[in-house]
């Protein structure tokens, strides 16, 4: 009977990953609900605490309570730790602990690490985890140093250092949670190029993915880069700079956002407005006052998100790239998806379409339910909120603090699914089926 029970409750890699994130979120929610976490010294509503824990672990940035004013330093530190764990993945920290105590990493643990980091194999994973941790803390340290040149003169030494570290971790992990108070994000620093560009750089670095940065670090020429890295760099460049140009055109003369800025600030804030929807959640201009075109562009960028194996969410740049190049190849009459004189496997193409379809269905379903629970909110607010939660972005048009109980629970679930991954969750809750040794006869159907 014991053998039967053990077999029944044996988790595979994706199930372990999904459950691990859920446990970390629950622990964070419990800690944040305690009186020792709030400024007032009283217990915080558990749903709001769980919401904050979810947004931190899922590195989203949507908050129902103002982070800068509601939580004390203990609560803020808990949030920062949750952001770090969520950004890198709890398996990275479990591996770090195992390395420190000299514990051997088992095959099962390596398989979970492979799923968590979205790599092609398990070879060299432990070495990669060491690289990831060193790289992360180094980049975050540099970011904190740059922030400190602005925050220390404004807030004093101790508070300035704390703010610098917190915002560097939040930016690199693409969380978008800030301590500046009153839900202002970085709008008060729209003309501070050091803070805006430092944040943008941390977001981009965190959103490219650790595999890509490992190849960039060992760069030996464009031809030596892997197909994955080339795709990530290409799509990221097009989205960031293409989005910045469009955002500049859309918001250039908008009195609610950029009309009153000088040309330099308009360029910097247009660039930042294109970078931050890549699942970061910071904003330097008012999102609610953006033009309809600017809001729609932001929704599209939030849905795409960052890159696989990074700290960001969304359907990922590589998935978007495969979809675009499949469309181009189909129009050209090609049998296969072709990129950089390479052929993409049918399995990868099918997986990309599955991820896109599941993600789109999730966003539309959440928007539909929110339209029932949040009856007073405009449709664009609902779609924006649902996309932001799925893409683990954190941008909002002001709806988050006004969500109903059901709305909060729905967004919590959406953030979780967006971080763990729609396809991962789908696989985690279904049994793996054996490969079929037969094929059905082919037939024809009219499409289009």
Q: Which domain holds residue 224?
A: 10-426
User: pLDDT above 90 covers what percent of the chain?
Assistant: 52
The per-residue pLDDT for 441 is 81
**C-beta of residue 186 within 8 angstroms of C-beta of residue 283:** yes
Do the domain assignments include residue 182? yes
Backbone torsions φ then ψ of 437, nearest 5 degrees: -100, 15
Per-residue pLDDT tens over the stretch 48-78: 999 999 999 988 889 999 999 999 999 999 9
**C-beta of residue 67 within 8 angstroms of C-beta of residue 429:** no
Least confident of 248-262, 331-345, 377-391, 401-415: 331-345
Do the domain assignments include residue 3? no
Confidence class of residue 1 from pLDDT cuts 50, 70 and 90? very low
Per-residue pLDDT tens over the stretch 2-42: 444 444 556 555 666 677 788 889 999 999 999 999 999 99
The per-residue pLDDT for 332 is 86
> What is the number of structural domains in the chain?
1
The token pair that represents 416 in the structure block: 């979780």
Do the domain assignments include residue 147? yes
pLDDT at 374 over 70: yes
| Cα 325 from Cα 344, distance rounded (Å) | 10
Do the domain assignments include residue 5? no
Q: Which residues pair with 38 in a beta bridge?
A: 71
Do the domain assignments include residue 29? yes
Following DSSP, what letter does each residue of 249-300 receive, concatenated? HHHTT-TTTTTTS-HHHHHHHHHHHHHTTTTT---SS-STTS-HHHHHHHHH
The per-residue pLDDT for 144 is 96
Give the H or E element holding residue 371: helix 346-373
Least confident of 117-131, 243-257, 347-361: 117-131
Do the domain assignments include residue 437? no
Q: Which residue has the higher pLDDT, 443 or 418?
A: 418
**C-beta of residue 177 within 8 angstroms of C-beta of residue 163:** no
Confidence class of residue 199 from pLDDT cuts 50, 70 and 90? very high
pTM for the whole structure: 0.85
The token pair that represents 143 in the structure block: 């970011």
pLDDT at 117 over 70: no
| Cα 137 from Cα 410, distance rounded (Å) | 33
Do the domain assignments include residue 395? yes
Which residues are CB-contacts of 5 (< 8 A; sequence separation ≥ 6)?
none
Opening angle at CA 240, ends 238 and 245, nearest 5: 90
pLDDT at 373 over 60: yes
Q: Give me the mean pLDDT over the 369-374 stretch.
A: 95
Q: Give me the mean pLDDT over the 194-198 stretch.
A: 95
Do the domain assignments include residue 1? no
């Amino acid at each position: 009977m014991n053998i039967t029970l053990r077999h029944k409750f044996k988790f595979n890699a994706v199930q372990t990953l999904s459950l691990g994130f859920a446990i970390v979120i629950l622990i964070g929610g419990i800690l944040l609900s305690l009186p020792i976490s709030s400024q007032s010294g009283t217990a915080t509503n558990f749903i709001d605490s769980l919401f904050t824990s979810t947004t931190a672990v899922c590195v989203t940035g949507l908050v129902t309570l103002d982070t800068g004013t509601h939580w004390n330093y203990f609560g803020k530190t808990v949030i920062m730790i949750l952001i770090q764990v969520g950004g890198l993945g709890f398996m990275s920290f479990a591996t770090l602990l195992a390395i420190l105590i000299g514990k051997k990493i088992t095959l099962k643990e390596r398989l979970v690490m492979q799923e968590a980091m979205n790599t092609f194999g398990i070879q060299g994973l432990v070495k990669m985890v060491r690289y990831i941790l060193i790289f992360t803390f180094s980049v975050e340290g540099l970011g904190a140093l740059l922030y400190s040149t602005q925050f220390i003169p404004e807030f004093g030494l101790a508070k300035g250092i704390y703010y610098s570290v917190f915002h560097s971790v939040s930016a690199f992990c693409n969380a978008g949670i800030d301590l500046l108070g009153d839900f202002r994000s970085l709008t008060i620093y729209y003309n501070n190029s050091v803070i805006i560009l430092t944040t943008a750089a941390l977001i981009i670095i965190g959103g490219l993915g650790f595999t890509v940065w490992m190849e960039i670090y060992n760069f030996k020429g464009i031809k030596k880069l892997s197909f994955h890295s080339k795709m990530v760099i290409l799509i990221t460049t097009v989205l960031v700079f293409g989005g910045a140009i469009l955002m500049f055109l859309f918001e250039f003369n908008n009195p609610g956002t950029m009309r009153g800025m000088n040309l330099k600030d308009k360029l910097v804030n247009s660039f930042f407005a294109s970078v931050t929807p890549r699942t970061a959640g910071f904003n330097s201009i008012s999102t609610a006052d953006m033009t309809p075109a600017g809001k729609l562009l932001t929704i599209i960028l939030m849905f795409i998100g960052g890159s696989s194996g990074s700290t960001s969410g969304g359907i990922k740049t590589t998935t978007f790239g495969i979809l675009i190049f499949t469309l181009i190849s189909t129009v050209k009459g090609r049998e296969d998806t072709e990129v950089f004189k390479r052929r993409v496997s049918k399995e990868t193409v099918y997986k990309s379409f599955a991820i896109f379809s599941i993600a789109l269905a999730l966003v539309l379903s959440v928007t539909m339910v929110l339209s029932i629970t949040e009856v007073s909110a405009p449709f664009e607010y609902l779609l924006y909120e649902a996309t932001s939660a799925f893409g683990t972005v954190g941008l909002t048009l002001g709806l988050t603090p006004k969500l109903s109980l059901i709305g909060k629970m729905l967004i919590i679930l959406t953030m979780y699914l967006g971080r763990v991954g729609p396809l991962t969750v789908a696989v985690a809750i279904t049994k793996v089926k054996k490969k079929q040794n037969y094929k059905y006869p082919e037939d024809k159907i009219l499409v289009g």
